Amino acid sequence: MNSAWRHIWTITKRELSAYFSSPVAYVFIVIFLLLTGFFTFMIGGFFERREAVLSSFFMWLPWFFLILVPAVAMGLWAEERRLGTIELLLTMPITAWQAIVGKFLASWAFLGLALGLTFPVVWTVNYLGSPDNGVIFCGYLGGLLMAGAYLAVGCMTSAITRNQVVSFILSVVICLFMILAGWPPVTNFFIGVGAPNWLVETVAAFSVMPHFESLQRGVIDSRDVLFFFSVIGFSLFTTGVIIRSQRAG
């Protein structure tokens, strides 16, 4: 392991330890599991479908992440700025991008753990029927990538301000746009007001939903994976620019 990745690994371990040293992480996971279970089995009509599928689970996932992921991300940099520890962090023998990647990976791993703990849903559908577990795996992969994209946006908004509430609201607004941009009622609205097709298609291209739905169907298309990693890469790059500009200022 070279020194760069050793520094990233140090930051990742530090952030993960910080998560589980407070009850907030456990509360977050419990709330997430309760919400996914309630909406999958009670609101999503899991039993009424009489099919061994998890569409009622994946249907709600973008909306749970819309609130929960910005809540995880809002303190990543805003809290460091508020406490003044960002200066100390950046004077350590690490670069800004190593700190950004380390913090991002720790938070992504935490979200992956929360998503993985929904395994009783998978166990239930396997107990009741014979689902296509390959499709379920792709759905989980899509969920993990979508959480990463939301999280990267949250990192970016957290770097902008030292106020966690402002960071949370900005992140929710951007992620909501990424959900609604490709939603048919929204695209139909743009078409209805006479927007040119190229504009409608450009706005819709920012939506996470077509890419997530494709993975939900069990199709791993490189374009969908590339879309999520592009959002992550762009957002983390912007986070780096913001932090370096603050450091220079």
Amino acid at 30: V
Which of these, 102, 81, 107, lies nearest to 24 by C-alpha position? 107
Q: State the pLDDT confidence band at 54, using cuts at 50, 70 and 90.
A: confident
Model pLDDT for residues 57-115, shown as the tens digit of each residue: 898 999 999 999 999 999 888 887 777 777 777 777 788 889 899 999 999 999 999 99
3-state secondary structure 19-48: HHCCHHHHHHHHHHHHHHHHHHHHHCCHHH
| Residue 33 pLDDT greater than 90, yes or no | yes
Which of these, 230, 10, 167, 162, lies nearest to 98 by C-alpha position? 10
